[in-house]
């Protein structure tokens, strides 16, 4: 939306656009890197900032979201920031109650159980105005970033959100949500349509507010379809072999990923070797380095730093050779 210099809201000029150039398939001097959940509980400063208020109150505070988004950038030379928020702000904006239960994760006290429960949901057209606090957080963060790196926005896909709303929380099998698909196909379509109608203006609003890129994650079962769907970047989890993924999508899209986050429990030396292997497999261009999933709360920030540094170091060497 806004590639060069001053954009829609007179944002500061971007100084490091390596991440965006890689996303667009342009040549880069090194491989850009960021981490899913880089603003997370593994950082002591994150835990300190978050201690004062509950999770969704934090999400509703643009000032707090901005601070949490910027914290990992003060520690590590990351090539992108990702706004601190949560995918479940969308079901909340549709009128569902969501609480974050310590040690358990998100919980919906009254999940969708019957077809008639859909009547409880608000009109999807109001969602973007309900989520103004996310747009404010994005705009504030773009200003405070002062052009240092691009800012990523995100949202949960309709099926992901439907699964939470029907299951009442996270689920490994998604059996209740899949049951809806088979037993209530029309209601399922209706719910997915409501979510889609809510998500489109929400994502557009994020871009207008200053977010600079959105990508598809964990879609290896539909890699070819995703590559042709118009995404610039497709994120891979760690179960996909990079060489195979590259063969399947060709040079059409930029791939992102995909080190197993648990590799960060290894020694810093071994992290360097794993990163080197990953970079060799993905190749130097049309690639953004990341983990195959988010950082876990018990990870050592020093090892995150070792991962970021190894990507920058090895990718520069790769280009020299």
Indicate which residues carry an active-site annotation. 37, 41, 50, 86, 164
- Backbone phi, psi, residue 267, to 5°: -70, 160
CA distance linking residue 163 with residue 70, whole number of Å:
31
CA atoms within 13 A on the CB side of 222: 9
3-class state of residue 132 by DSSP: helix
Q: What dihedral do alpha carbons 2, 307, 140, 125 form, nearest 10°?
A: 70
Q: Which of 254, 273, 306 is nearest to 24 (CA)?
A: 254
Token pair belonging to 108: 């919906």
3-class state of residue 105 by DSSP: strand
CA distance linking residue 234 with residue 1, whole number of Å:
18
Phi-psi region for residue 230, left (φ > 0), alpha (ψ -120 to 50) or beta?
left
Task: Give the single-character DSSP code of 304.
Answer: H
CA distance linking residue 254 with residue 286, whole number of Å:
4
CA distance linking residue 251 with residue 227, whole number of Å:
10
Q: What dihedral do alpha carbons 19, 23, 28, 32 form, nearest 10°?
A: 40
Indicate the helix (H) or strand (E) that contains 179: helix 175-183
Q: Which of 90, 118, 96, 122 is nearest to 109 (CA)?
A: 96
Task: Report the chain's C-alpha Rg in angstroms.
Answer: 20
């Amino acid at each position: 939306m806004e590639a060069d210099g001053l954009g829609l809201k007179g944002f500061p000029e971007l100084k490091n656009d390596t991440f965006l150039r890689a996303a667009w398939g342009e040549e880069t001097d090194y491989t850009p890197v960021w981490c899913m959940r880089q603003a997370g509980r593994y950082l002591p400063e994150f835990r300190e900032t978050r201690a004062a208020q509950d999770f969704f109150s934090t999400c509703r505070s643009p000032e707090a979201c901005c601070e949490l988004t910027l914290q990992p950038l003060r520690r590590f030379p990351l090539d992108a920031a990702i706004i601190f928020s949560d995918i479940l702000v969308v079901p909340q904006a549709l009128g569902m109650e969501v609480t974050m239960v310590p040690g358990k994760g998100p919980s919906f006290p009254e999940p969708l159980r019957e077809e008639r429960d859909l009547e409880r949901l608000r009109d999807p057209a109001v969602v973007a105005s309900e989520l103004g606090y996310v747009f404010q957080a994005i705009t504030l963060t773009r200003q405070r970033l002062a052009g240092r790196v691009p800012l990523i926005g995100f949202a949960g896909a309709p099926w992901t959100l439907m699964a939470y709303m029907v299951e009442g929380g996270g689920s490994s099998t998604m059996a209740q949500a899949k049951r809806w698909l088979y037993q209530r196909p029309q209601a399922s379509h209706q719910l997915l349509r409501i979510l889609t109608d809510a998500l489109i203006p929400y994502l557009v609003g994020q871009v207008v507010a200053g977010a600079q890129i959105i990508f598809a994650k964990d879609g290896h079962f539909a890699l070819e379809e995703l590559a042709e769907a118009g995404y610039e970047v497709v994120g891979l989890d760690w179960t996909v072999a990079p060489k195979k993924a590259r063969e399947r999508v060709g040079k059409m899209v930029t791939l992102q990923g995909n080190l197993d986050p648990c590799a960060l429990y290894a020694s810093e030396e071994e992290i360097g070797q794993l990163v080197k292997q990953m970079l060799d497999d993905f190749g130097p261009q049309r690639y953004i380095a990341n983990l195959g999933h988010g950082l876990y709360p018990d990870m050592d920030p020093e090892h995150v730093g070792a991962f970021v540094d190894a990507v920058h170091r090895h990718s520069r060497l790769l280009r020299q050779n």
